[in-house]
Chains A and B, each alone.
Chain A
Amino acid sequence: MSGRYGYVLFHTSAAAFRAEKAAREPGASGNRPSTGARLVPTPRALSSDCGVSLRFDLGEAGAGDAERAMRALLDARGIPFDRIAEA
C-alpha cells in the first residue's frame, strides 16, 4: 500500500530548497531519509500558505522511522523548518 506521505513544512522556501538538496545527496549518512523526497505544493489541509513542502515516503511500516530520519537530517544540516505533518 502506498500513498502515505510525510510533509516537511518550512517558513521559507529558501530552507525548503536546502532540505531538498540535502535529502537527495547521494550516499552519505545514516541520516538519509527514505528515497523519493521531492518538493511539492504544500497540501491545502496543512497550510493556507502558497509555498512548497518536502514530501517524503513514510513507507509501509514504522512511519516514525522515516520521520525520525528526516528530522535527523534537517537537524544535522541546521536547516530550520516549521513542522512535519502527515497527509
Chain B
Amino acid sequence: MGGDDRIVYLDNAATSWPKPAGVADAMAAFLRDSGGNPGRSGHRLSIAAGRVVAEARDAVAEALGVGDPLRVAFAANATAAINAALFGVLRPGDLVVADGMAHNAVARPLTELGRMGVSVKWIRCGRDGSIDLAHAEKLVRGTGGRAARMLVVTHGSNVCGSLAPLGELAGVAARHGATMLVDAAQTAGIEDLGLDSLGDAMVAFTGHKAMLGPGGTGGLAFSRGADIGRVRPLVRGGTGSASDSEDQPAFMPDRLEAGTANGPGLAGLAAGLGWIAGNGGRGAIRDRELRLTEALVSGIAALPGAAVYGPEPGRPRCAVMSFTLAGWSCSELALALDERYGVLCRVGLHCAPRAHRVLGTFPDGTARFAPGPFTTEADVERAIGALAELAAEGGRA
C-alpha cells in the first residue's frame, strides 16, 4: 500500500480510531475465555467476567479522580449517563442551569424536562466558546431565594474544543447548594478531572473517545461529596444482589446498573485505559494532541478564505478544532477531503446546534478536526496541505 493510500483520521471527537491493538484482543478474550455473566453466578466463568468488569471500574475511577471505584456506575454511553442524572435528580419546579456549548445529549433531555415543568436557564458563552462565569453565578443563584438544583457543564466542547473551568464552576455550584453534572464526553480519559475535588458533582463519561475503548461503554461517576441517594434510578431490574427484594437496591453501583453489563465492551475499555497508562499517561498524550491541535489551528488560520472558531492560541482547550473555508460548503469539503486526500473529519452541526449559535456558525456548521493519540505530525501536514489545495481551487458550494 502506497503512502498516499493512508487514511488521515481526524474524527477522534466522534470516536477514537484506531484503538490500541490490545482493545480488540481483550474483547475477543472476554468472549472466548471469560464469557460468564459478570456479578451474577458464582462459577468460575462468571467470576472471571466479574473480575474484568472490576478492573474496568478501577481504571475508570483512577482516570476520573474518584477515590472509591464503587462510585462509578457503568452505562451504555455518556448520553445514557446524562439522562440518568438529569431525569434522576430534576423534578417539576426545579431550576437547572446549563452552558451554551451543550451537546444535544444535554439539550434534548433538558428540553423535555422543560416541558415537564423544570425551569431551564442557559449560561451565555463568548464567541470563543468560553463560559461567562458572572452570568453562571447569577443564574445558579436564581431569583426569589430559589437557587438552581443543578448546574450542567460541558467540560470540553465537541465543536470548537473550548474547555470549561471546572474548579470555578464547582465553586459557583457550591455557593448556592447546587449539584454539578459535568459532560466529560470529550475529556474523560485524557484530562485530569479530579472529580473528588469538585464538591457535590457527577461526571458523565463515554468509553469510546479519549478512553480508547469500544462503543457501548460509558457511565456516571460521583464525587466523594455527592449525594447519590438523590438520584432516582431510571432503569430498574436485576443486579445479582438483594434478589429477595423487588425494590431496586439503594447501594452503588447496583442502584444505577440494572441489567447485564457490557462485559466485552468493558474488557476493551480496561485495555484502552491500560494502554494510556502504559504510554506516558494522560498528561503526555494530551500535551501531544494539543500540540497537533495548535498546529492545525495556526496552519488552517493562515490559509486564504479560512476561518477558525474557538479558543485563541494558548487558551485552555481540548484536542478539537473547527473551521470553514470560503466557497466550500461543509459537505462538499468533507467529500473532497475524504475522496481526494483520505482525510476523514466530521462536518455540520455535530449534534450541538446551540454551540454553533454561540460560534456564529448555525445553521451551516463547520468542518471539525480532532487528532488522537495515533495522529502524527505528517498527518497534520497532509491535512493542511489538502486544505491549501482546496482553498486555491476556490471552492464548491
Q: Does B393 contact A (CB under 8 A)?
A: no
Q: Is A69 an interface residue (CB 8 A)?
A: no
**Bound state CA distance, A52 and B50, in angstroms?**
10
Q: How large is the interface on A (under 10, 10 to 19, 20 to 34, 35 or more residues)?
A: 20 to 34
Specify which chain B residues have a CB less than 8 angstroms from the CB of A11 in the assembled complex: 241-242, 249, 251, 254
CB distance from A7 to the nearest CB of B (A): 12
* Contact among B58, B70, B240 with A80 in the assembled complex (CB-CB below 8 Å): B70
A41 to chain B, nearest CB (A): 3
Stretch binding the partner chain, chosen from B36-44, B225-233, B371-379: B36-44
Chain A residues 1 to 48 lying within 8 A of chain B, measured CB to CB, are: 11-18, 20-21, 39-42, 48
Is there an interface contact between A12 and B57, defined as CB atoms closer than 8 Å?
no
* Contact (A50, B243) CB under 8 Å given A14-B69, A17-B50, A21-B54: yes
- Contacting residues of chain B (249-263) with chain A, CB-CB under 8 angstroms: 249, 251-254
Which A residues touch B46, using CB under 8 A?
Answer: 52
Chain B residues whose CB sits within 8 angstroms of the CB of A64 once the complex forms: none
Main secondary structure, interface of B, reads loop
- The interface size bin for chain B is 20 to 34
Q: Which 9 A-B pairs have the closest CB atoms?
A: A41-B42, A17-B54, A13-B39, A12-B254, A52-B42, A11-B251, A39-B47, A12-B241, A50-B243
Binding site for A on B (CB under 8 A): 38-43, 46-47, 50-51, 53-54, 57-58, 67-70, 239-244, 249, 251-254
Additional 11 contacts, C-beta under 8 A, given A17-B54, A49-B242, A51-B240: A11-B241, A11-B249, A12-B251, A13-B50, A14-B252, A18-B69, A49-B243, A51-B241, A52-B42, A78-B68, A80-B70
Please report A residues at the B interface, Cβ cutoff 8 Å. Answer: 11-18, 20-21, 39-42, 48-52, 78, 80
